[in-house]
Amino acid sequence: MKGDFKMELPQITEVRGIKVLTTKQIAEAYGVKPDIIGYNFRYNKERYVEGKHYIMLEGQLLREFKSTNVEIQRSLPKISKLYLWTEKGALLHAKSLNTDKAWQVYDYLVDFYFRAKEKSTEIIKPQEPLNKVTMKNPILIFKVLIQLAEQNNMKIKSYDFKASPSYIKGNKIGMKSNMSLEEVDYELAYILAHTFIHKGEGDLIHNPNYEIYNARAERAADMIIKMLDIALA
């Protein structure tokens, strides 16, 4: 029964904001060899629509993806094209295999991988007090940071947080109310740095590399604020 079935889920991989699986991950989950997945794709290629069932990476896009994916670097170091399967692509592969296991795994992947709700990633306040960050143009910096967030479809709202000054969940940024404009600027820079540098890393708080990620975002936020302050002077 579906409710009794469990499997180890792969690490979440996103491309263009879409959760995807590699051919190897699909094959391992469905209990077949990767060659079978490749054969089914080639044999039924007219059924597969790029952007809907799969995303194909090559050239610079592939190099950028490989630079952030250690598993791909290790297992497929010389590939020139990479096919990544979406939820609908996983469905077509399940249809091609048409085994009880494939259908059971597909249902599980839909519930717990492709459509699983993202965990809140609460960003902990940096160790360096925010009021030590000096800015000559906090209003102009705020406008630039807001514009950057909007260009990346991120929505910002203020909340009455009691602990952390900010958090990010999906494309939503929550900011603690009653902060000074300088503090808001720094928090926005800090969260945007996390978003751009660590996209696709999942739950940052419970990630074993959290302290490293946090330090990176702090340094990046400092640099962003200083650069904007100079540029807008």
Per-residue confidence in pLDDT tens, the chain, 233 aa: 444 566 777 777 888 778 899 999 999 999 999 999 999 999 999 999 998 999 999 888 888 888 777 777 777 777 889 999 999 999 999 999 999 899 989 888 888 888 876 544 444 444 344 444 578 888 898 889 988 888 888 888 776 655 567 767 767 777 777 778 888 888 888 888 887 877 666 555 555 666 777 788 888 888 898 898 888 87
At residue 128, the pLDDT reads 43
At residue 229, the pLDDT reads 86
Which of 184, 5, 20 has the alpha carbon at shortest distance from 102? 5
At residue 137, the pLDDT reads 83
At residue 181, the pLDDT reads 83
Same domain, 71 and 47: yes
Same domain, 98 and 156: no
Domain that residue 101 falls in: 2-114
At residue 97, the pLDDT reads 93
Domain boundary among 65, 94, 114: 114
Same domain, 137 and 161: yes
At residue 85, the pLDDT reads 95
Same domain, 161 and 83: no
Question: 3-class secondary structure for the chain?
Answer: CHHHCCCCCCCCEEECCEEEEEHHHHHHHHCCCHHHHHHHHHHCHHHCCECCCEEEEEHHHHHHHHHCCHHHHHHCCCCCEEEEECHHHHHHHHHHHCCHHHHHHHHHHHHHHHCCCCCCEEECCCCCCHHHCCCCCHHHHHHHHHHHHHHCCCEEEEECCCCCCEEEECCEEEEECCCCHHHHHHHHHHHHHHHHHCCCCCCCCCCCCHHHHHHHHHHHHHHHHHHHHHHCC
Same domain, 44 and 97: yes
Same domain, 101 and 125: no
Total number of domains constituting the chain: 2
Output the domain CATH number for residue 151: 3.30.2010
pTM more than 0.85: no
Same domain, 139 and 220: yes
At residue 125, the pLDDT reads 42
Give the pairing of strands 121-123 and 81-85: unpaired
Domain boundary among 87, 114, 141: 114
Same domain, 131 and 101: no
Domain boundary among 83, 114, 145: 114
At residue 31, the pLDDT reads 92
Same domain, 129 and 172: yes
Same domain, 59 and 160: no
Same domain, 207 and 186: yes
Same domain, 149 and 216: yes
